[in-house]
Structure 1
């Protein structure tokens, strides 16, 4: 649908970012310097990085962290399918980016029905210009998308193109009863697309769907890790259990990660058996690691939380529940917070 209705080329800036020869830094791919390479990327199904490091030149013309992009075509189409926009619906988009997705929404909803918010004023201006140039009437607002846009509420549909670990209450409050919210959920290990429906009581409930990894909303980026804090006072114990599956398998990691919200993970490969898996929870100043050995491994834990013990408990619960798939999990959002559940909202996952 998307490729036939709206031309992606009209929205991609002349400078995009690709992985360099060293496999680490991102380097600019400029239309003026390599028009064939630029066009091949734009016409592909791949995601395209359009900004790095929040637009700051920190590494002498190179970049490390993608901070804005045009999503892969499959995920754009999948999210629009889950959103289910019909003509005349009022739509709020969080994360304008290039403006390409907003243009697709405008085609579906009709003239003047789409409001799109972008936190970066420069990106918002570029998207607004592209939408105007291509004749897609979208109201582009430069601002913090976590607050929504109450002036245009209530909305029939809300869609976010950046991931969140905590659903902003404003999105629910600004969605009319029966309205739908689609967004990428940022899990501790892996993420997924989520679809919520707002009930008459103002509570949003729904399920998780496809695996998906997105850049986070800027004010919901991961906390800095606290690995090795107070290492001399950490608790150390041996184990023969090498619990690596949540770090390697997306479905396992997603399910287990629901028990460990707000944590960051790490994996240090030092060659041979000396691989170290890491968990960190900055708010509680807690961290844990497992360092692999040949026959026996070493677990280190520090802080008020015993994160590796919690990981093992969560994994055992998931195994004992029959290894439920991603789409059996759901989320309820109320003014008091959010709750994860398995199969139905009555089977809540009780977090620490």
Structure 2
């Protein structure tokens, strides 16, 4: 991509983006506001893939926007300053010789997270000048550059496994004169050479917290990560706060969305069942519960673990939950007191039972995570007492690591 992107004044676009985030109540931190106004996104995101084909199409048709090309420029500028995720890389490809225009096939292996999620994460970490910052899986480096702008030169380190992306991001950070380094390595190992860190932010979802991350957290530090489950429908966000005495408090809460899981982690999908469900939703029967609302995050997070193997089809017209490996599903509504079920697994009965347990546990929104129970397992609980919801996080060993 052309280096003359640097000479274009995009300050008005950044100002409009910041005003939009502020008006929506998303952006409240004045230091992050200043960083968003300063960091030129067009340098970090010089191109972007746009999906052309509709849902369910395989292989997928894409179009690559080149920000240096006059015909792409306005669409590209609008996109990278929007609230959308920016798709940067297919199948781990090199990033220096991409050609604009149509391309077919492949799967996205790197992207910049949509801006409201980035703002929420960085504000949750409580960044400030002088703090030592570690980002795991920084990708193209948007959140990393913002954090480094706040903490100051020489205090931010990123660990990126993809060699092409690490070199791409570091070069662009240099062009921005951001005094921060991205090293190539396995994010699961953190980066012991410069530990401990006051703030650790993971841009990848993990099934549990890698021990190295906790070990590299300084007293008084904070660690923020997405806990990935097998379903993309109900992610969890984990915040670990280490007291000045070294004691950890880890809180897990459900979120509407989270970071993509580490490579090799296989998500469940309802896509292959969509046509069959539309043709035959199943047998109607009464339901004992009103379908929980989308923002009952504490319930849906528990469902990801305690009714495992389920995934929601958010493209369906009414609440549709699928157990793809059991060829089973449940379709709720439309508001007539019934639910339609299909297959050997009674998906809705499991959700009804879990809903009763969730009610008895006090409808928890957040859960406590014990990272140091002495056995290596990381356990989750909604609180004390026999009616608490509890489960154990799966170990890292269950997630295949990619071949370098």
TM-score w.r.t. structure 2 length? 0.68
Q: How large is the Cα RMSD of the aligned pairs? A: 3.8
The answer as to whether partners of 2:330 and 2:348 remain within 8 angstroms in 1 is no
Partner of 2:174: 132
Alignment of 1:34-183 (within 5 A): 34-55=72-93, 61-63=103-105, 65-183=107-225
| Separation in 2, partners of 1:253, 1:65 | 27
Distance 1:348 1:339, change over 3 A: farther
Equivalence map 1:1-352=2 (5 Å)? 1=33, 2-14=35-47, 16-23=48-55, 24=57, 25=60, 26-31=62-67, 32=69, 33-55=71-93, 61-63=103-105, 65-187=107-229, 188=231, 189-199=233-243, 200=245, 203-208=248-253, 210-222=255-267, 240-241=286-287, 245=291, 251=297, 252-260=299-307, 263-265=309-311, 267=313, 277-279=321-323, 287=326, 289-290=328-329, 297-301=340-344, 310-324=350-364, 326=365, 328-334=366-372, 336-342=376-382, 349-351=389-391
* Equivalent residues of 2:195, 2:217 under 8 A apart: yes
Q: Give the direction of change, closer, same or farther, for the CA distance of 1:296–1:142 in structure 2 (3 Å limit).
A: closer
**1:18 deviation in Å?**
1.5
Q: Which whole-Å CA distance do the structure 1 matches of 2:294 and 2:86 have between them?
A: 25
Counterparts of 1:267 and 1:20, CA distance in 2: 21
With structure 1 as the length reference, what TM-score do the two structures score? 0.77
Aligned residues: 328
- Which residues of structure 2 form unaligned runs of 5+? 1-32, 274-282, 393-404
**Contact kept? 1:165, 1:220, Cα under 8 Å:** no
Alpha-carbon separation, structure 1, partners of 2:170 and 2:315: 44
Maintained 8 Å contact 2:90/2:109: yes
Structure number having the greater strand percentage:
1
CA distance in 2, matches of 1:108, 1:11: 17
Any stretches of 5+ residues in structure 1 without a counterpart?
229-236, 281-285
Q: Using the alignment, how far apart are the partners of 1:307 and 1:323 within structure 2? A: 21
Kept in 1, the 8 Å contact 2:361–2:388? The answer is no
Per the alignment, do residues 348 and 107 of structure 1 end up closer, same or farther by CA in structure 2, a change over 3 Å counting? farther
Alignment match, 1:283: none
- Alignment partner of 2:204: what SS? coil
SS at match of 2:193: helix
